[in-house]
Chains A and B, each alone.
Chain A
Amino acid sequence: MRPMSFGIKSFAISCLIVTILGVQAYIGFTRIRGTTWPFVSYPMYAWAKQEGERLEDYSVTAVFADGTELPDYERVIDTPFWILRENFVLPIARQELDADAAREAARVFCGQTAESPVRLELIDTGVSVGRHGAVYGEPQTVGTVDLACR
């Protein structure tokens, strides 16, 4: 079979090839995160960790008006894990939100149970990495958000 001649179709596809590979190469090496999906960089598990480093492993304890507490509240409600983590858990744990912004973010917890909590406590589970695997330490409260559900 004869090789293809370079026609309009070949030219159009060539432009597409160059564009797709060019965009992916640019984004892949400039670490633009997500905004240009489906062209993204791939920094999965890319941050180095050291012996003794605590895991970013948190749970949420809900405190109700009568003082009762419900641990692992994030498992009770319907909001998907990653949305909670990106919008609420990590920004509060990393102290990237001020009190107003944290209260706003915490609204995702409102109305998800028969009675809404009045306060949320973010608990660091206290697990760290050791040479021989997981090291279990004492859990710590790393953030508290008063919740004003309407």
Chain B
Amino acid sequence: MNFWTRYWFDPRPVLDIAIVRIVCCVTTLYFCVAFLHYHAEILDRALLDDTLYRPFLLFRLVHLPFGWGYSGSGGADGLGTWAFRPSGDFVLLAYSVFIVSGVMAAIGLLTRTSLLVFAASYFYVESYIFAYGDFHHPSAAMVIMLGLLALSPAGQVLSVDNVLRARRGAAIDLHADAPFAGWAIRLMQWFFALMYLSAFYSKLHFGGLDWMNGYTLQYYLIQDGLRWGSGLAVWVAQFHWLILLGQIGVMVFQGTFFLEVLFPRLRWIYIPIGLCLHISIYILLHAPFFTWIALYSIFIPWRDVADYFGHRSGRISQAGEL
């Protein structure tokens, strides 16, 4: 029990989780509002036929007071008799709440409440968008992270809340440690390790070792390159051996990423590689894993980095004075 308590609940820097809060909120808002244009996506889906509406389990649980099934299921699977599909206007209202609470959470105003509302409204809007027979992976981990941040002291510093506390003479120092400031970050680090292990396992299960034959990634590069108009992906797809080596690298990275969580010093190897991987996936395949890139902030010891650069700049200015 001692090890468990020390590992998850020993006091950790409040600066680390505050920076994660800001990075996650800003990225999520940008991703949904400016990049994916969720306003238009919601309107598009509101026009779709009821027969296409197939919400996930948790989304149906949210609507349980109003109905369990979905419109148009016709009762064939026993779910159609008590159906509910939210209107586009209602989802747009939830989307407005999502934006307002996201801005509040980013600046740290009523942080805990705004994070909770932000996470819940993000879950709601995303679940609606995914309720038509199609879903994507990038947002799942972010929804969970935002919910965990709401349960953490993520607004103790770098927040309007702390400015208001300072007026009462009770400000929290930027360098402070706090109990319960580390568990959410550690939990998401393990969650990331499980996501990569799932991807690794899926490749072994569906493709076996033959997955690393070079043609697999050439195929996906050509397919997504043609689909999304990425001439670079189609061009890169001609280099068979280079791609084969890249596929081996992906398998090694995903299969061993958990080592980074066990041995944090490895982060300086794994994090740059992971960032390069996700950025190149976006450039080549146009698969926008921006939320994962933002979530990589959980692997950075922000206070240590700030202290390191603070000391360096201090030494440089001292040398200048001499």
Contact = CB atoms under 8 A, between A and B. Distances in A.
Interface in B200-214: 201-203, 205-208, 210-211, 213
Interface in A91-112: 104, 107-108
A134 B206 contact: no
Question: Interface majority SS on A: helix, strand, loop or mixed?
Answer: loop
A13 B8 contact: yes
A46 B137 CA distance: 14
Interface residues of B, number: 75
Contacts of A104: 51
Which of B177, B183, B215 is most buried by chain A, counting CB atoms within 10 A of its CB?
B215
B31 interface: no
Contacts of A107: 49, 51
A14 B58 CA distance: 23
A83 B198 contact: no
A55 B222 contact: yes
B11 interface: yes
Question: Interface majority SS on B: helix, strand, loop or mixed?
Answer: helix
Contact of A28 (B52, B134, B197): B197
A14 B11 CA distance: 16
Contacts of B65: none
B84 interface: no
Given A17-B8, A132-B238, A37 B140 contact: yes
A127 B56 CA distance: 34
Given A79-B48, A80-B41, A20 B216 contact: no
Interface residues of A, number: 58
B97 interface: no
Nearest to A54: B219
Interface stretch (A1-9, A64-72, A114-122, A139-147): A1-9
B57 interface: yes
Contact of B220 (A35, A41, A45, A131): A45
B215 A51 contact: yes
B56 A53 contact: no
A38 B202 contact: no
A29 B205 CA distance: 10
A48 B218 CA distance: 11
Nearest to A131: B240
Given A57-B226, A83-B134, 7 more contacts: A3-B9, A28-B194, A28-B197, A36-B57, A42-B202, A79-B44, A86-B134
22 contacts: A3-B9, A5-B5, A17-B183, A20-B191, A28-B201, A34-B130, A37-B58, A40-B135, A41-B202, A42-B137, A48-B207, A50-B213, A50-B215, A79-B48, A82-B136, A107-B51, A108-B52, A129-B237, A133-B235, A133-B238, A134-B222, A134-B234
